[in-house]
Amino acid sequence: MSRAQPIKDILRSTLQYWNKPDTRPAVRENFKKVIRCRTEALGAEVYVSEDEEKTVFHTCKSRACPSCGYRATQLWQRDQWADLPDIPYAGIVLTMPDALWQIFRKNRHLLHDLPVLGAAVIQQWAKVQYGARVLIMVFPHTFGRRLNFNPHLHLMASSVGLSDSEGRVTEEVHFDKTALMRMWRYAVITYLRAALMKGLLRSELTRGETRSLLRSQYERWWNIHVARLVSKGHFLRYAGRYVRRPPIAQHRFTAVTEQHVEFLTKDLKEKRVVQTRYSLSEFVEKLAEHVPDHYRHAIRYFGLWAPRSKGQAAAALFLLLGQERRHRPRRLKWADSIRKSFGTDPLIDRHGHRMRWCRRLKPINAAL
């Protein structure tokens, strides 16, 4: 297999493992998109100059695609830079014990509510301690370093809040790690107990064993992380590593053969980089677990940035901060985006002449 596009090569060679009726529809659809990305199956645009002709194939726009996800991330960062106020932000990571991972793995419908629970914890803390609403962005994740199923949340919360009762901006908001951990732990366990009572949990454990498991996990310490306040630019660069990206970067692959896949992984206990090896079937199975279901967002907005309140809250926040609200930039054209991201103009031929659009090639339907 080639090293240029290892994920595409792996998916193409493992059709028998994932292209079957019992595979989740979202997985089949996204994997097919990745294979067809930048091929004649999606059509193309043809550009010409006096001496050269260039065919530019269309992209798939899939969140499982490494190249499409990278460009989408850059466009998102550009929009958010203009949209967000210039204030410090706190980065928060809410995790859960590994004993609960399998519950969410077998009950994917519960994953949709995790961002709501995490945002409610942050908002409740800000309301009780400061009497204000804060800006919250949530990035739900399901993968760990070895592609294991590890549901957790990355959150961004603003360092200032808006007091609706007093019509003012609050003092700097600080997030207490211990208090947030206890609130998050209570929210998740209470949610799972309610799902169990309503018969919404599928598990190999009996109802009594599940209750015992939830009780034991509620009594232990949960690891969460609260980062120091950082600038808007710093957080957007950090968040860019997680937005619309596949769970593994292509540069981490060290070997892809007909039998197995090897890639680099950080071992936090040994504090060194190690090799992780899976068979092709194991790798595809793990990769498929992290493809989101249809209509599941990569980013969720709450508090001041919730869709229903952003229109009014954003105007008030910028006014009270004494900042001018920026206009969202126009979406970059394909050639402009490539030039800005990689420093090369794709519409300049080998002789330095400008190329112009000539015609469009229709997609060629190719059965997988």
Q: Is residue 123 part of a domain?
A: yes
274 belongs to a structural domain: no
Short-list 286, 257, 285, 294, CA closest to 18:
285
Structural domain boundaries enclosing 315: 87-244+300-321
In the chain, DSSP assigns E strands to: 44-48, 53-57, 89-94, 133-143, 149-163, 168-169, 224-226, 253-256, 260-267, 272-279, 300-303, 356-361
pLDDT at 367: 65
Structure confidence at residue 112 as a pLDDT band (50, 70, 90)? very high
Closest CA to 82 of 232, 238, 301, 231: 232
Rg (CA), the chain: 23
The pLDDT of residue 1: 47
**For residue 266, is it within any domain?**
no
In Å, what is the CA distance from 165 to each residue of 132, 135, 171, 242, 275?
A: 9, 17, 15, 36, 55
Work out the burial of residue 258: count CB atoms within 10 Å of its CB; fewer than 13 is exposed, 13-18 middle, 19 or more buried. exposed
Tell me what the mean pLDDT of segment 101-111 comes to: 94
Closest C-alpha to 185, from 95, 293, 110: 95
User: For residue 14, what pLDDT band results from cuts at 50, 70 and 90?
Assistant: very high
Q: Is residue 305 part of a domain?
A: yes
Q: Is the pLDDT of residue 2 over 60?
A: no
Out of 30-34, 139-143, 170-174, least confident range: 170-174
pLDDT per position as a tens digit, 115-124: 999 999 999 9
What per-residue confidence (pLDDT) applies to 150?
A: 94
What are φ and ψ of residue 218, in 5° steps? -70, -25
Select the more confidently predicted residue: 303 or 68: 303
| Residue scoring higher pLDDT (315 or 211) | 211
CB atoms within 10 A of CB 114: 23
What pLDDT is recorded for position 3?
Answer: 61
How much is the mean pLDDT over the chain?
A: 89
Q: Confirm whether 251 is domain-assigned.
A: no
Q: Where are the beta strands (DSSP E) in 3-110?
A: 44-48, 53-57, 89-94
How do residues 184-243 score in pLDDT, each as one tens digit? Answer: 999 999 999 999 999 999 888 899 999 999 999 999 999 999 987 788 888 888 777 777
Query: What is residue 228's predicted lDDT score, i.e. its pLDDT?
Result: 78
pLDDT band for position 247 (cuts 50, 70, 90): confident
Decide if 223 is inside a domain.
Answer: yes
Distances (CA, A) of 74 to 7, 79, 147, 298: 21, 9, 24, 14
Q: Say what the pLDDT of residue 167 is.
A: 72
pLDDT of amino acid 63? 80
- Name the domain count of the chain: 1
340-359 per-position pLDDT tens digit: 877 889 999 998 999 999 99
Residue of 170 and 92 predicted with greater confidence? 92
* 118 within some domain: yes
For 33-83, the pLDDT digits (tens) are: 999 999 999 999 999 999 899 999 998 888 888 777 777 787 888 888 889
Residue 143 lies in a domain: yes
At 40, which amino acid appears? E
